[in-house]
Amino acid sequence: MARWEPGARERLVVAAVDLFTEQGYDDTTVAQIAERAGVTKSTFFRYFPDKRELLVAGQETLSRLLAEGIADAPVDASPLEAVAAGLERVSGAMGPMNRDLGPRMKAAVAASAELQERDALKSVGLAAAMTAALIARGVPDPTAHLAGEFGVLAFKRGYAEWSESDRGAKDKLAQYTLAALDELRAASASLA
């Protein structure tokens, strides 16, 4: 097996998503994932404690980028403008592999209650990171929580649209996440 090839983590994620889609989450073993990725089981466990954690690969990075974008937003930015800065920052880190994985990941999650639960926890973690970053900017707690939740909804909606759109296009994730945030902002105005 080609243990020395770069990108083992990414190959493991792609292999797992493909296998989850092809044969189901419950019927996929760590050994099958490692074999498909061209690595050993010990390499798998170097990156992930179990197969469930593959779904949230990169969550820490996403949370960090969202928080950094919010922290670096202009001082006079509104809470949603700061969230938009976070969405732009995280969108810049998402490339073609992330786009290609989207529909397959969505199918794998839809077919597994355990993955649905893990996906929900991922959303909670992203919202918490944005909320904490907004509170650090001096945004009041309820407003920070609401803006953080808007950020998660915008990210998820934008990512779904981007990953399901024309993969040959050179468009960036940011245009989708920011459009989703604008739609949510407009929708919230009708709640009053």
DSSP string, 95-164: -HHHHHHHHHHHHHHHT-HHHHHHHHHHHHHHHHHHHHHHHHTT--HHHHHHHHHHHHHHHHHHHHHHHH
Asked if 14 and 40 sit in the same domain, the reply is yes
Asked if 39 and 63 sit in the same domain, the reply is no
pLDDT per residue as tens digits for the range 52-69:
888 777 788 899 999 999
- How many domains are there within the chain? 2
Q: What is the pLDDT of residue 3?
A: 42
Mean pLDDT taken over the chain: 90
Other C-beta atoms closer than 10 Å to the C-beta of 145 total 17
- Within a domain: 183: yes
Asked if 146 and 166 sit in the same domain, the reply is yes
- Within a domain: 178: yes
**Residue 109 is part of a domain; what is its CATH number?**
1.10.357.10
- Within a domain: 24: yes
Asked if 28 and 64 sit in the same domain, the reply is no
- Within a domain: 145: yes
Q: What is the residue range of 68's domain?
A: 58-189
Task: Report the interhelical angle of 141-164 vs 96-110 (nearest 10°).
Answer: 100
- Within a domain: 76: yes
Q: What is the pLDDT of residue 4?
A: 46
Asked if 81 and 32 sit in the same domain, the reply is no
| Residues in the chain with pLDDT values less than 50 | 1-4
SS3 27: coil
- Within a domain: 3: no
- Within a domain: 2: no
Return the closest-CA partner of residue 155 out of 56, 64, 54, 66: 66
Query: pTM here?
Result: 0.85
Return the closest-CA partner of residue 137 out of 189, 188, 90, 81: 81
Q: What is the pLDDT of residue 21?
A: 86
Asked if 153 and 177 sit in the same domain, the reply is yes
